[in-house]
């Protein structure tokens, strides 16, 4: 003969469940743990349960952590819902969320909006949902794509850098993942940003593009591929004391690479040289800026630099 679960044991199970779920449980979970609708109503009357959203309750006290509010919002939005947009970016540690609105993505067939929750109806959510801290959340790639549709270029660049630094997704992996989202908002902006910072010319192509730029800036033909202060440099004007380096991969540089870049520039500075750095993208696609800044630096050096 079946026996009922003792109240004390059932209570411990519910407390354990709520602890794993940041202090929230669903109506269905309460029923599964043996509570009747009447018992649920009694716990609501005695403030042992507190309604948070439709079918979702806080256990013990109404105050919830940030994670509790996120989980409550996703549970209230359906089994296929996932935390998304800036809320997902905050959960991944990519960007801080400053307001209390919870952003949740659901399949396009869902229509209901809920208080305190910003519902985003999307297509192609399958395969791009992960679980973090017990919360269904859009993948880092999907999260960055959502952010790309609403952020400025500078803000988006900061988010991509943060995702890379935290080991969530590297720019190359993100660029490849965009193939799954063709035609969706944010793809063009995110792809352009990644391509801009990972674009790299071959050594010969770089020289062919840069030398005419240097001439337009009023400089003579530089020495190339020379060792200066123990480092091989891209372009060097001994008479000016000017070294120009180019960098075709700003993203995903290791701490060791970053430290070596600093030492390189510090060594040139200590020797009385002026190091100047451009990306390959700037050399290929933003030549007016290269001409302007290179010309200004060269003019300043020609007035004050004395080569000994």
H, E, C per residue of the chain: CCCCCCHHHHHHHHHHHHHHCCCEEEHHHHHHCCCCHHHHHHHHHCCCEEEEECCEEEECCCCCCHHHHHHHHHHHCCCCCEECHHHHHHHHCCCCCCCCCEEEEEECCCCCCECCEEEEEECCCCCCEEEECCEEEECHHHHHHHHHCCCCHHHHHHHHHHHHHCCCCCHHHHHHHHHHHCCCCCHHHHHHHHHHHHCCCCHHHHHHHHHHHHHHCCCCCCEEEEEECCEEEEEEECCCCEEEEEECCCCCCCHHHHHHHHHHHHHHHHCCCEEEEEEHHHHHHCHHHHHHHHHHHHHHHHHHCCCC
- pLDDT at residue 175 in the model: 87
- Grade residue 67 by pLDDT with cuts at 50, 70 and 90: very high
pLDDT for the residue numbered 53: 85
Q: How many CA atoms lie within 13 A of 151 on its CB side?
A: 23
Q: What is the mean pLDDT of residues 190-203?
A: 80
The arithmetic mean of pLDDT across residues 231-256, rounded, is 80
Res 153: pLDDT: 86
Residue 94's pLDDT band (cuts 50, 70, 90): very high
pLDDT score at 8: 58
Q: Where do we find the tokens 């716990």? A: 43
CB 165 within 8 A of CB 117: no
Q: What percent of the chain has pLDDT over 70?
A: 91
pLDDT value of residue 268: 95
Q: What is the pTM of this model?
A: 0.69
Q: What is the pLDDT of residue 308?
A: 46
Q: Considering the chain, what is the average pLDDT of its residues?
A: 86
Of 18-27, 32-41, 155-164, 249-258, the least confident: 249-258
> What average pLDDT does this structure show over 46-68?
89
Residue 3 predicted with pLDDT over 50: no
CB-based contact 219:298 (threshold 8 Å) = yes
pLDDT value, residue 1: 38
pLDDT in the model for residue 203: 81
pLDDT over 70 (residue 209):
yes
Question: Tens digit of pLDDT for each residue in 102-122?
Answer: 999 998 766 566 778 899 988
| Pairing assessment for the beta strands 102-107 and 117-122 based on DSSP bridges | parallel
Report whether pLDDT(6) > 80: no
- Residue-wise pLDDT for 259-306, tens only, equals 888 899 999 999 999 999 998 888 888 899 999 999 999 999 988 754
pLDDT on residue 103: 95
Q: For the chain, what are the domain ranges? A: 9-59, 66-197, 203-304
pLDDT of residue 298: 94
Calpha distance 38→30 (Å, rounded): 11
pLDDT digits (tens, 9 = 90+) for 119-150: 998 877 878 999 999 999 999 999 999 999 89
Q: Which long-range contacts (CB under 8 A, 24 or more apart) does 15-19 make?
A: 15/59, 15/60, 18/59, 18/60
pLDDT over 60 (residue 7)? no
Q: Superfamily for 203-304?
A: VSR Endonuclease (3.40.960.10)
């Amino acid at each position: 003969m079946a026996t009922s679960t003792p109240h004390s044991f059932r209570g411990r199970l519910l407390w354990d469940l709520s602890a794993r779920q940041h202090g929230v449980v669903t109506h269905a979970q309460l029923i599964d743990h043996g509570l009747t609708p009447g018992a649920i109503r009694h716990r609501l009357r005695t403030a042992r349960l507190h309604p948070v959203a439709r079918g979702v309750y806080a256990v013990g006290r109404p105050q919830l952590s940030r994670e509790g509010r996120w989980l409550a919002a996703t549970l209230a939005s359906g089994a296929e819902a996932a935390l998304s947009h800036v809320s997902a970016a905050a959960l991944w540690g990519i960007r801080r969320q400053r307001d209390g609105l919870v952003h949740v993505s659901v399949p396009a067939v869902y229509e209901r909006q809920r208080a305190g929750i910003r519902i985003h109806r999307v297509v192609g959510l399958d395969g791009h949902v992960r679980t973090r801290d017990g919360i269904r959340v859009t993948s880092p790639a999907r999260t960055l794509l959502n952010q790309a549709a609403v952020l400025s270029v500078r803000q988006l660049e900061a988010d991509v850098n943060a995702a890379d630094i935290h080991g969530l997704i590297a720019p190359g992996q993100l660029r490849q993942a965009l193939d799954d989202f063709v035609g969706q908002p944010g793809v063009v902006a995110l792809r352009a940003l990644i391509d801009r910072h990972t674009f790299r010319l071959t050594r010969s192509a770089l020289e062919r593009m840069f030398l005419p730029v240097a001439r337009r800036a009023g400089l003579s033909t530089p020495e190339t591929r020379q060792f200066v202060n123990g480092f091989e440099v891209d372009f060097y004007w001994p008479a000016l004391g000017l070294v120009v380096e180019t960098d075709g991969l700003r993203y995903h540089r290791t701490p060791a690479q970053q430290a070596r870049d600093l030492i390189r520039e510090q060594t040139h500075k200590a020797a009385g040289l002026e190091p100047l750095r451009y990306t390959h993208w700037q050399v290929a696609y933003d030549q007016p800026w290269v001409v302007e800044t290179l010309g200004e630096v060269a003019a300043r050096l020609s007035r004050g630099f004395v080569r000994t």
